[in-house]
Copies of this chain bind each other. A is one copy, B any other.
Amino acid sequence: MATDSAQLGSQLAEATLNESVSALKAEFSDRVPIRSIISRTDGGSGFAGQHVRIGGWVKTGRKADKDAFAFLELNDGSCPGNLQVIVEADKGDLGQLVPTGTCVVVDGVLKLPPAGAKQKVELRVEKVVHLGPVDPAKYPLPKTKLTLEFLRDVVHLRSRTNTISAVARIRNALAYATHTFFQKHGFLYVHTPIITTSDCEGAGEMFQVTTLISEGERLERELIKNPAPSEADLEAAKLIIKEKGDAVSQLKSAKASKEEIGAAVAELKRAKENALKLEERSKLQPGIPKKDGKIDYTQDFFARQAFLTVSGQLQVESYACALSSVYTFGPTFRAENSHTSRHLAEFWMVEPELAFAELKDDMNCAEAYVKFLCQWLLDNCSDDMEFISRQFDKTCIDRLKMVASTPFERITYTEAVELLIDAVKNGKKFENHVEWGIDLASEHERFLTEVKFQKPVIVYNYPKGIKAFYMRLNDDNKTVAAMDVLVPKVGELIGGSQREERYDVIHSRIAEMGLPIEPYEWYLDLRRFGTVKHAGFGLGFERMLLFATGLDNIRDVIPFPRYPGRADL
């Protein structure tokens, strides 16, 4: 399977060596991606002598030989490597070509470089087709090494840096690997809703989605332009009704003609309608609509309070209880005011759900999935992984290899706690006290996976008191069939469980935890009608990226990070 995927992924780069380079051009552009040339076993040397169009951005450029020509290191984002490009002075304005960040499209001939050069092929330019210049004095990304922290302030340009573009390619590879893994195993991808009126965890800090504020402001503007009627206006309107009513009575007592009476009645009707409209308008209040002192959500877009989802699990369960094996992969949200390097307000989650499955099947699936992701990166992203390894984390490639090839350790929560207590006895210091019943802290998780076992560990059967209501109660009545996958570097990567499929048990668990039943009636229906054993888990996609790359801050592994006080673009 890994071999299949490798073939699929590197198809563009794997032309036979006597093939024409122009056959490798992007189908929807005249240019040839740089990756198609240099990411070959011969480094592109087999193409020497051939003509090609290349586009990209200058990484570094310098003039040489008394400005007779310039060397440009060109990158187009298709791979971490650059193509060395040589431009003679009569082919273009060298001064405009050399600044870092300049965009160029050039036609040229691929040549073998002088003996001893690092590159295996280089391009001698025949024509500069396009030039998108950069004023180095104003460019926010100077050639000097920039910190990842600095780059967070220029999210719209940071994908032009080596690190962020490598992360983007690794992220892309993990996303496609995710789909490929689940599709190969017969899972159906289900788009669970982003806007939700259910709350998965019962609590959780959620973002509200509303049009009430903008509607309130619109009304406020409208009322300024066209004020609501005053008391006097309303009185005047009532007076007109009285006059019109009197007129009708007078015409009737005077036995006037039907036409005359009819006309007066029509006038009275119009006066009443007008007064009603004025009265309604007089009730308009600028700002958010209220009823009985509370916000009137019946006037909100969805006629009730709505939020951004914190998990697609509950909804995807409804699909699992019909289509058997499903998964969701989408954005989720937490309005938590945490300023750590591990939390985002918007992040992506992969959540498979398997019907006809128990906890053991869930663990098997999670282990196979994580291994598949690791092997995929080794097969498809070796150039990017090598870059990351050189720049940030020398151990990242070995970590992928180890996880891809080592069976995960599986221990119960109770065993885990015993191991931790033993460690404390042997002198290990933890900040958080260890005893049966605690939620394992990150330091405990990392001790188990990094020190004790030195490989991925699945901890299962957690105390029911620290886990969600939907997790299946074990026969001991103390623990639930939950499991967490712990990996070196990040600790918890996956959390999952077998779901409680027994109607009576889940009903009393909801009550026991003090949650209201009504919002979960639909969820209970899945147990009421044709209930099935099922299980699933969630993988935090950015956690997987931190694990794979060894980067420290989650804000650097998502293209546009959202956290308290920041949502650029």
Q: Tell me the minimal C-beta distance from A501 to chain B in angstroms.
A: 7
Distance in angstroms from A366 CB to nearest chain B CB is: 9
Closest to A502 in B: B132
Instruction: Report the separation of the CA atoms of residues A157 and B184 in the bound assembly, to the nearest whole angstrom.
Output: 26
A:122-178 near B, CB below 8 Å: 130, 132-135, 138-140, 155-157, 159-160, 165, 168-169, 171-172, 175-176
Give complex CA distance A368, B566 in Å: 39
Q: Say whether A356 contacts B30, CB under 8 Å.
A: yes
Q: For the complex, what is the distance from the CA of A345 to the CA of B193, rounded to whole Å?
A: 11
Contacts of A188 in B (CB 8 A): 77, 168-169, 172
How many chain copies does the complex carry? 2
- Give the interface segment out of A325-333, A392-400, A464-472: A325-333
Residue A33 at the chain B interface, CB threshold 8 Å: yes
Partner of A159, one of B35, B206, B318: B318
- Is A195 within 8 A of B318, CB to CB? no
Contact yes or no, B530 A101, CB < 8 A:
yes
Q: A354 in the interface, Cβ–Cβ < 8 Å?
A: yes
Apart from A156-B525, A306-B567, what are 13 other A-B pairs with CB-CB below 8 Å? A4-B8, A26-B354, A29-B355, A35-B186, A103-B530, A132-B532, A160-B530, A165-B322, A171-B189, A176-B183, A194-B333, A303-B564, A330-B330
Interface flag for A78 (CB, 8 Å): yes
Please, which residue of chain B has its CB at the minimum distance from the CB of A295?
B213
Q: Which one of A248-256, A262-270, A485-493, A555-563 is at the interface?
A: A555-563
A102 at the interface (CB under 8 A from B): yes
Tell me if A31 is interfacial: C-beta within 8 Å of chain B. Answer: yes
Of residues 47 through 88 on chain A, the ones whose CB sits less than 8 Å from some CB of chain B are: 55-58, 76-78
Given A302-B562, A330-B331, A364-B27, the answer on whether A194 and B346 have CB atoms closer than 8 Å is: yes
Say how far A187's CB is from chain B's closest CB, in angstroms.
Answer: 9
A93-107 residues at the B interface, CB under 8 angstroms: 101-103, 105
A526 cross-chain contacts in B, Cβ below 8 A: 156-157
Please report the C-alpha to C-alpha distance between residue A8 and residue B181 in the assembled complex, in whole angstroms.
Answer: 11
Q: Which residues of B contact A209 (CB under 8 A)?
A: 207-209, 308
Q: How far is the CB of A197 from chain B (nearest CB, A)?
A: 5
- 25 sample A-B contacts, Cβ–Cβ < 8 Å, listed by A number: A28-B185, A28-B325, A28-B368, A29-B355, A55-B356, A58-B530, A77-B324, A103-B531, A103-B532, A130-B532, A134-B529, A134-B530, A156-B318, A171-B191, A176-B189, A193-B560, A194-B346, A195-B207, A195-B346, A197-B567, A197-B568, A198-B569, A205-B211, A206-B214, A209-B209
Neighbour of A529 across the interface among B76, B139, B318, CB < 8 A? B139
A160 to chain B, nearest CB (A): 4
Least CB distance from A155 to B in Å reads: 8
Task: Give chain B nearest CB distance to A329 CB in angstroms.
Answer: 9
B-facing residues in A362-382 (Cβ within 8 Å): 362, 364-365, 368
Q: Using Cβ atoms and an 8 Å threshold, which residues of chain B touch A558?
A: 191
Q: A132-B531, A169-B188, A208-B210 are in contact. Are A197 and B569 (CB under 8 A)?
A: yes
Enumerate chain B residues within 8 angstroms of A169, measured Cβ to Cβ.
188, 323
A323 and B185 in contact, given A190-B172, A207-B209, A208-B211 (Cβ under 8 angstroms): no
A314 interfacial contact with B, CB 8 Å = yes
From known contacts A28-B365, A176-B183, A213-B208, infer whether A159 and B319 are also in contact, taking CB-CB under 8 Å.
yes
- Check A362–B157 contact: CB distance below 8 A: no
- CB-CB nearest in chain B for A319: B159
Known contacts A168-B323, A322-B159; A357/B525 CB under 8 A? no
Contact indicator A564/B302 (Cβ below 8 Å):
yes
The 0/1 profile, CB within 8 Å of B marked 1, for residues 290-332 of chain A is 0000010000011110101000001100110111110000110
Docked pose: A252 CA to B113 CA in angstroms: 88
Q: Does A192 reach chain B (CB closer than 8 Å)?
A: yes
Distance in angstroms between the alpha carbons of A155 and B315 in the assembled complex: 10
With contact pairs A194-B194, A330-B330 given, residues A335 and B566 touching in the complex (Cβ less than 8 Å): no
The answer to whether A565 has its CB under 8 Å from any CB of chain B is: yes
Please tell me if the beta carbons of A324 and B33 are within 8 angstroms of each other in the complex. Answer: yes
| Chain B residue nearest to A105 in the complex (CB) | B356
Contact of A335 among B102, B301, B522 (CB under 8 A): B301
- Nearest 10 CB-CB pairings of A with B: A77-B323, A132-B531, A103-B530, A159-B322, A193-B560, A55-B356, A302-B567, A28-B365, A172-B188, A156-B522
User: Is A9 engaged at the interface, CB distance under 8 Å to the other chain?
Assistant: yes
A217 contacts across to B, CB distance below 8 A: 295
Any B CB within 8 A of the CB of A196: yes
Identify which of B315, B335, B337 contacts A560 (C-beta below 8 A). B315
What CA separation (Å) do A205 and B303 show in the bound complex? 17
The listed residue (B208, B212, B361) touching A29 by CB distance below 8 A is B361
Of residues 505 through 550 on chain A, the ones whose CB sits less than 8 Å from some CB of chain B are 522-523, 525-526, 528-533
